[in-house]
C-alpha cells in the first residue's frame, strides 16, 4: 500500500484552489523602458548590436516598448560626419538588423535620414514585428548656445512620403499615431518638448496617450531639475504618460557632457528617473496606466473640448503578448498621506490654511464672529477645533468667540469626555457641558421606544445637532461641522444630525489624513500641554459612542463594524480619483496591503465600501458646504454628482466574482 504524505496532499489542494495570477495588462498597464545605451560614436553596426542586446534583455522583463536616445545609431555628436554617405548607408543596414529583434517588442531609435528630395532629417524610427514601421522627423532644431543642429538638419513639417528602402507601407511623417494593441503613442524629439509650439500637444489631442521623447540633452548646473519639471508638467498639461531617454556619457565630451538622463511621468506625477553621469548603460522600466490616463482625460472638460487636429495616420503595431503578473510601480497604502515627512508637513500646513481661510470667509459672509462646535474628544472634532482656532487667529478674534460644547450621552466614555475637557483647557477655550441623557430618555419615552437600536443611536445624534444649532442661534454664531470625507463616502453619519452643519471644515479630509494632520499639529503648532492631549486623542479608538458602555469602556468601535479606514481611504482614492474598477482596486490593494490583510478581508470590506457608497448618496446630496483641500471631494455642488437611486448591483457582482 502506498502512503501519501498528508502535508503534501494539503499543499496540492491549496495550489489547486489558489487564485490564478492576475494579468495587470487587463487593467490598462503597459510596460515600457527608456534606455541610455553605451554608445560607439559613428559606428551604427556596433550601436545596433548594443540596442539588440538591450531589446532581448527588456523582452525578458516583459517590456512592450523600448525607447532609445536621439541619433543613438550614430551618436548625437557626430557633427559633419552626418554628411557622410557611408554613415547613412550603415544606418539602413543597422535598422534592418534591429528590426529582426522586434518580433515581440517595439523599439524606437534615433537616426539621421536623407529624404528623396535631398533633405537631411533627424528622425525617430519605430520598429516592430520585424519591420521598420515608420519615421517621425524632429520639428524644432536648436541653433543657439552650444547647439548647432541647423548646420546638418532641417525641419520637415510638410513631409509625408513612403519609405521605399523598406518592404512595407512605412512612411515618414510627423503626424503619426502608433498603436500597441489598443494603446496609442506618439513621438517627439528633444527640443520639440522645449519649443513654445510643441508637436506633442497636437499628438495628444489626436489621441496619443503616451509620448516618447528621444533626446540628447547635455548636462549643466540645475538643468536636470528644469528637465525633470518640464517632463512632469508636460505630462500634466497633456494628460499623458511621458517617457524620456537622453544620450549617455559616451557621446563626445569636446565641449559638453551628456548624462544619460531617463525620465517617466504620468499626469503630472514623476514615476521614476535614472541615475546620471554613468559611463555604463542606464535604463528605466515603467508601467504606464492607460486606464488612469483615459479617466483623467474624460474628467477634464478643457481637454475634451479642445479642437482636434486632422491629418493623422494611425499605424497598428504588434500588441504586447507579455503577461504582467507584477507591477514595477508602487501604490502607497495611504494615498492621501505623503510618505516623506517634509512633503507631509508642507501639505498639512497648506490644508490647515485652506480650512481656516474657508471658515473665516464663511464667518464674514454670515456677519458673525462666533463659532459653535461639538467637542466629543474624538479625532474629527479635534481637527475641526484646531481649524476654529486658526480661523479666529486669522480674523484677530479672541478665543471667547469659540463656543465649545461637549454633549455626553448614554454611550459617552470617560476617556473621550476627559479628552474634550483637556483639549479645551490646553487651548484656553471655555467648554460648556450639556448632558443629553435626560432629553434622549424623554424623547424615546415619547416614542414608546425601548430598544438600543438605530432609533436609540440616531436620537442621540439628532439631539446633539439640535442643541448645537439652537445654541448657535443663542450666541449668534454658526455651527462648525466635524464629519470627514471617509464618513461621508460610507454614509457613516446620521442624516440631519452630524451630517449637517453651517460649514463643515473636514468635508474633504479623509480619515487617514485627519490623523496625520492632528499628529502634525501636535509636533509643529502645539505647546507641550496641548501636544500631550492630542496624543491621547490619537490613541483613542474611533467610535460614534452611541451604544451604552460595557464596564465603563467604549462598546462600539467603528472599524470593527465597517472595516479599517485605511482600506476604505485606499478604495475611495482609486475609485474617485482614478476611476478604477472594483477588480482593479482589489488587486492593487492586495499588493499595497500585503502582509496586513488577507484577500478575504480586503474583498469583504471592498464589497461593503461599494454597497454603502451607492446606498448612502442621499446623505451627500444634501451635504453642507465645506472647503475642498485635495483632488478627491464629494461635494454635491462640485466634484461628485450622482443620483440617489443609482444601482450598485453590477459593482457588487464584479466583487463577488473575484
- Residue 160: pLDDT above 80? yes
Q: List CB contacts of 490: < 8 A, sequence separation 6 or more.
A: 562, 568, 609, 612, 613, 616
- Residue 330: pLDDT above 70? yes
At residue 619, the pLDDT reads 97
pLDDT confidence band for 454 (50 / 70 / 90): very high
Tell me which DSSP letter residue 378 carries: S
DSSP states of 346-397 as a string? HHHHHHHHHHHHHHHHHHHHTT--EEEEE--SSHHHHHHHHHHHHHHHHTT-
Is domain 30-317 annotated with CATH 3.60.110.10? yes
- Residue 222: pLDDT above 80? yes
Tell me which DSSP letter residue 295 carries: H
- The mean per-residue pLDDT over the stretch 60-79 comes to 97
Calpha distance 431→402 (Å, rounded): 9
Calpha distance 46→504 (Å, rounded): 66
Question: In the 3-class helix/strand/coil scheme, how is 298-310 assigned residue by residue?
Answer: HHCHHHHHCCCCC
At residue 285, the pLDDT reads 98
Contact between 400 and 430 (Cβ < 8 Å): yes
Q: Which residue has the cell 537631411?
A: 120
Give pLDDT tens digits for 609-630. 999 999 999 999 999 999 999 9
Calpha distance 172→161 (Å, rounded): 6
- The mean per-residue pLDDT over the stretch 163-180 comes to 92
Q: How many other CB atoms are found less than 10 A from the CB of residue 272?
A: 15
For the chain, give the percent of residues with pLDDT over 90. 89
In the set 59, 62, 70, 566, the catalytic residue is 70
pLDDT confidence band for 166 (50 / 70 / 90): confident
Tell me which DSSP letter residue 637 carries: T
Question: Helix, strand, or coil here: 349?
Answer: helix
At residue 543, the pLDDT reads 81
Lowest-pLDDT range of 9-18, 361-370, 462-471: 9-18
Radius of gyration of the chain (CA): 31
Sign of CA pseudo-dihedral 230, 284, 586, 482: negative
Sign of CA pseudo-dihedral 109, 112, 116, 119: positive
Lowest-pLDDT range of 126-135, 156-165, 545-554: 545-554
Q: How far is CA 108 from CA 55, 241, 260, 453, in A?
A: 11, 16, 16, 65
Q: Which residue has the cell 472638460?
A: 301
Contact between 320 and 31 (Cβ < 8 Å): yes
Question: Helix, strand, or coil here: 35?
Answer: strand
Contact between 75 and 112 (Cβ < 8 Å): no
At residue 555, the pLDDT reads 67
Give pLDDT tens digits for 351-372. 999 999 999 999 999 999 999 9
In the set 190, 262, 388, 493, the catalytic residue is 190
Cell of 425: 483647557
pLDDT, averaged across the chain: 94
- The answer to whether 138 is a known catalytic residue is yes
- List the CATH code of the domain at 341-656: 3.40.50.620
pLDDT confidence band for 319 (50 / 70 / 90): confident
pLDDT confidence band for 320 (50 / 70 / 90): confident
Give pLDDT tens digits for 121-158. 999 999 999 999 999 999 999 998 888 899 999 998 88
DSSP states of 521-563 as a string? HHHHT--HHHHHHHHHHHTSPP----S--BTTB----HHHHH-
At residue 16, the pLDDT reads 39
pTM of the prediction?
0.92
Cell of 118: 535631398
Contact between 71 and 44 (Cβ < 8 Å): no
φ/ψ of 514, rounded to 5, equals -55, -50
- The mean per-residue pLDDT over the stretch 95-99 comes to 97
Q: Which residue has the cell 518638448?
A: 193
Q: Which residue has the cell 494603446?
A: 183
- The answer to whether 70 is a known catalytic residue is yes
Q: How far is CA 144 from CA 38, 148, 309, 420, in A?
A: 27, 7, 30, 66
pLDDT confidence band for 20 (50 / 70 / 90): low
DSSP states of 40-85 as a string? -TT-HHHHHHHHHHHHHHHHHTT-SEEE--TTTTT-GGGGGGGG-H
Calpha distance 470→474 (Å, rounded): 6
Helices (H), 430-507: 437-446, 454-475, 485-490
Phi-psi group of 145: left, alpha or beta (phi > 0 → left; psi -120 to 50 → alpha; rest → beta): left
Q: Which of 648, 608, 613 is nearest to 634 (CA)?
A: 613
Question: Helix, strand, or coil here: 336?
Answer: coil
pLDDT confidence band for 557 (50 / 70 / 90): confident
- Domain ranges in the chain are 30-317, 341-656
Calpha distance 259→251 (Å, rounded): 9
In the set 62, 72, 138, 209, the catalytic residue is 138
At residue 18, the pLDDT reads 54
Lowest-pLDDT range of 159-168, 342-351, 594-603: 159-168
Question: Helix, strand, or coil here: 33?
Answer: strand
Lowest-pLDDT range of 3-17, 48-62, 207-221, 262-276: 3-17
Strand partners, 341: none
Give pLDDT tens digits for 27-53. 999 999 999 999 999 999 999 999 999
Cell of 446: 415619547
pLDDT confidence band for 259 (50 / 70 / 90): very high
pLDDT confidence band for 19 (50 / 70 / 90): low
Amino acid at each position: 500500500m502506498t502512503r501519501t504524505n498528508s502535508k503534501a496532499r494539503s499543499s496540492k489542494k491549496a495550489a489547486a484552489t489558489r487564485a490564478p495570477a492576475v494579468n495587470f495588462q487587463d487593467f490598462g498597464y503597459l510596460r515600457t523602458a527608456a534606455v541610455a545605451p553605451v554608445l560607439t560614436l559613428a559606428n551604427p553596426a556596433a550601436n545596433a548590436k548594443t540596442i539588440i542586446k538591450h531589446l532581448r534583455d527588456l523582452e525578458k522583463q516583459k517590456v512592450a516598448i523600448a525607447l532609445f536616445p536621439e541619433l543613438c545609431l550614430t551618436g548625437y555628436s557626430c557633427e559633419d560626419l552626418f554628411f557622410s554617405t557611408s554613415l547613412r548607408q550603415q544606418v539602413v543596414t543597422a535598422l534592418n538588423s534591429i528590426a529582426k529583434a522586434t518580433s515581440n517588442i517595439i523599439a524606437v531609435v534615433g537616426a539621421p535620414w536623407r529624404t528623396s528630395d535631398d533633405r537631411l532629417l533627424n528622425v525617430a524610427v519605430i520598429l516592430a514585428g520585424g519591420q521598420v514601421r515608420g519615421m517621425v522627423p524632429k520639428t524644432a532644431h536648436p541653433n543657439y548656445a552650444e547647439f548647432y543642429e541647423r548646420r546638418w538638419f532641417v525641419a520637415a513639417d510638410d513631409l509625408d512620403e513612403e519609405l521605399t528602402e523598406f518592404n512595407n507601407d512605412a512612411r515618414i511623417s510627423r503626424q503619426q499615431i502608433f498603436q500597441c494593441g489598443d494603446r496609442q503613442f506618439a513621438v517627439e524629439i528633444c527640443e520639440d518638448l522645449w519649443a513654445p509650439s510643441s508637436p506633442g500637444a497636437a499628438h495628444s489631442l489626436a489621441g496619443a496617450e503616451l509620448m516618447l521623447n528621444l533626446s540628447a540633452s547635455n548636462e549643466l548646473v540645475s538643468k536636470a531639475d528644469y528637465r525633470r519639471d518640464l517632463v512632469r508638467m508636460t505630462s500634466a498639461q497633456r494628460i499623458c504618460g511621458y517617457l524620456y531617454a537622453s544620450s549617455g556619457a559616451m557621446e563626445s565630451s569636446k565641449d559638453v557632457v551628456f548624462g544619460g538622463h531617463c525620465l517617466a511621468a504620468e499626469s503630472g506625477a514623476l514615476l521614476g528617473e535614472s541615475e546620471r553621469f554613468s559611463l555604463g548603460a542606464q535604463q528605466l522600466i515603467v508601467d504606464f496606466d492607460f486606464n488612469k490616463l483615459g479617466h483623467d482625460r474624460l474628467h477634464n472638460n478643457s481637454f475634451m473640448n479642445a479642437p482636434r487636429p486632422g491629418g493623422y495616420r494611425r499605424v497598428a503595431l504588434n500588441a504586447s503578448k507579455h503577461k504582467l503578473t507584477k507591477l514595477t510601480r508602487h501604490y502607497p497604502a495611504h494615498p492621501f498621506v505623503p510618505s516623506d515627512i517634509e512633503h507631509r508637513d508642507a501639505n498639512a500646513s497648506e490644508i490647515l490654511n485652506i480650512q481656516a481661510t474657508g471658515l473665516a470667509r464663511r464667518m464674514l459672509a454670515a456677519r458673525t464672529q462666533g463659532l459653535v462646535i461639538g467637542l466629543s474628544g474624538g479625532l474629527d472634532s479635534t481637527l475641526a477645533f484646531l481649524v476654529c482656532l486658526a480661523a479666529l487667529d486669522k480674523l484677530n478674534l479672541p478665543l471667547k468667540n469659540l463656543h465649545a460644547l461637549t454633549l455626553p450621552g448614554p454611550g459617552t466614555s470617560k476617556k473621550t469626555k476627559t479628552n474634550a475637557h483637556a483639549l479645551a483647557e490646553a487651548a484656553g477655550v471655555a467648554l460648556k457641558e450639556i448632558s443629553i441623557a435626560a432629553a434622549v430618555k424623554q424623547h424615546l419615552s415619547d416614542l414608546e421606544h425601548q430598544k438600543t437600536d438605530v432609533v436609540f443611536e440616531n436620537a442621540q445624534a439628532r439631539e446633539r445637532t439640535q442643541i448645537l444649532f439652537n445654541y448657535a442661534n443663542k450666541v449668534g454664531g454658526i455651527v462648525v461641522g466635524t464629519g470627514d470625507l471617509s464618513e461621508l463616502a460610507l454614509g457613516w453619519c446620521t442624516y440631519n444630525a452630524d451630517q449637517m452643519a453651517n460649514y463643515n471644515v473636514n468635508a474633504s479630509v479623509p480619515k487617514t489624513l485627519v490623523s496625520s494632520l492632528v499628529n502634525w499639529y501636535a509636533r509643529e503648532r502645539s505647546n507641550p500641554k496641548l501636544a500631550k492631549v492630542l496624543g491621547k486623542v490619537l490613541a483613542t479608538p474611533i467610535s460614534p459612542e452611541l451604544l451604552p458602555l460595557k464596564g465603563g469602556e467604549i462598546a462600539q468601535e467603528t472599524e470593527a463594524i465597517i472595516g479599517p479606514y485605511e482600506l476604505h481611504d485606499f478604495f475611495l482614492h482609486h475609485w474617485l480619483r482614478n476611476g478604477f474598477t472594483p477588480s482593479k482596486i482589489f488587486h492593487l490593494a492586495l499588493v499595497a496591503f500585503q502582509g496586513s490583510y488577507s484577500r478575504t478581508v480586503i474583498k469583504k470590506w471592498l464589497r461593503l465600501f461599494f454597497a454603502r457608497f451607492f446606498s448612502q448618496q442621499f446623505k451627500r446630496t444634501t451635504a453642507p458646504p465645506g472647503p475642498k483641500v485635495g483632488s478627491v471631494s464629494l461635494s454635491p455642488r462640485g466634484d461628485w454628482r450622482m443620483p440617489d437611486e443609482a444601482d450598485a448591483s453590477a459593482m457588487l457582482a464584479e466583487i463577488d466574482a473575484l
